[in-house]
Amino acid sequence: MNYWPLLGVAVVVIGFVLRLNPVIVVVGAGVVSGLAAGMSLPDLLALLGESFVSNRALLLFCFTLPTIGLLERAGLREHALAWIQRLRGVTLLRLLVTYLGIRQLLSMVGLIDIAGHAQTVRPLLAPMAESAADKDHGGLDRARAQRVHALAAATDNVGRFFGEDVFLAFGAVLLIQGFLNEHGIVLQPLQIALWALPTAIAAFIIHAIRIAVFQRRLARVGATPPADPEHADAAD
């Protein structure tokens, strides 16, 4: 057995220990392993190109992060905060429930990646939710602001997870159809997807209730006056 191709593992370990660029480290490890395995340089380049083209969906992710970073540097979060402050009637409950419904509906028609943590939650939804909570319950400390951000991220998760199950071409739906067909139960993807619809509705209602409960708790905590240090010292 030829163990020389394992040199690529050593390249990865050394590159990450030295904190080099991950892309350069991974590509370098692939080149080292390919040459050690006896591949010619043209074949190795062809394999790298084929792998890159077959995973071209990653380009969307690679382009999304720099774009979001540039928008945030230009003040995207600050504009989102100011916009929510100017709107009347926008509460944390209304904002997150509306986003939950939109996220579920888009996932039901296959538009799963049109929103998400990187492109929507962090730059837009989280600061907007924080601004809505801050407007209704006064200044938020760091702990409560982090809880608001976590709830915004959970809202995105619930909307996507329970919405995509209703999509006909979702992988899980096709997997269930194939499994049932092997056991003599013939069902169309539409029939399987429709059975996920009650679960999606229940998830929407349950999470909306969770958001409402969270907002009430946030209001109760915000209404509690801070302890007076002088009285606290006297009590001690």
Average pLDDT rounded to a whole number, residues 142-152: 90
Cα-trace Rg, the chain: 25
205 band by pLDDT with thresholds 50, 70 and 90: very high
CB 192 within 8 A of CB 173: yes
Place of tokens 């905060």: 81
What is the reported pLDDT for 236?
A: 41
Angle between helices 7-17 and 22-36 (to 10 degrees): 160
Per mean pLDDT, which range of 60-69, 105-114, 134-143 is the poorest? Answer: 60-69
Cα–Cα distances in Å, from 204 out to 111, 160, 186, 200?
18, 11, 30, 6
Task: Give the CB-side neighbour count of residue 46, counting CA atoms within 13 A.
Answer: 5
pLDDT in tens, 174-200: 788 888 888 888 888 788 888 888 999
What is the reported pLDDT for 140?
A: 77
- Continuous H helices in the chain: 7-17, 22-36, 41-54, 58-73, 76-86, 92-108, 126-137, 142-164, 171-182, 189-223, 229-235
Q: For residues 216 and 125, what is the distance between their CA atoms, to the nearest angstrom?
A: 20
What is the reported pLDDT for 105?
A: 92
Residue 103 CA, distance from chain mean position:
12
Q: Can you read off the two tokens belonging to residue 144? A: 């409560």
Q: For residues 207 and 154, what is the distance between their CA atoms, to the nearest angstrom?
A: 9
